[in-house]
Amino acid sequence: MIEISVNSLVRGWSRNCPRFENNTLLKNYLSLKSTCNSNCLDFSRARADDGPAYLTILIVGHLMAPLLHFTFVKWRPEPIILFLIFAVGCISLSLYLLLRIKCVIVGLQWERKMYGFKDSQ
């Protein structure tokens, strides 16, 4: 069984360095810092690739599709109103989740010593 420390995942969710909580992991919206300021952890070889985008689409789709069906059946709003509400909801939820999922994946990579984190523990 794979044992994973929840601390690195929680730190990733809060967009912090997986080793210490006092430093942010991102320098821009989605770009990682090359190194951590407080502990010299090298993030240049961390690879999240398309994983955060796929997981974000999966989560947003599974949350919004049943909600869209329920809203349409229960209240029957005008199509343009329904589109506007759910378009804003999907975009805002996607933007919220995307960077957090990316940081969680980097935290998971650090925890499991994947890619460039093999010698950084």
List the chain pLDDT tens, one digit each, 121 residues.
577 788 888 999 999 888 877 788 888 888 888 888 776 788 888 888 899 999 999 999 999 999 999 999 999 999 999 999 999 999 999 999 999 999 999 999 888 888 777 765 5
Q: What's the pLDDT at 21?
A: 75
Query: 74-111: string of b/e by CB count within 10 Å (b at 16+)?
Result: eeeeeeeeeeeebeeebeeeeeebbbebbbbbbbbbbb
Expressed in angstroms, the distance from the first to the final Cα of the chain is 21
pLDDT of res. 34: 86
Task: Say whether pTM exceeds 0.75.
Answer: yes
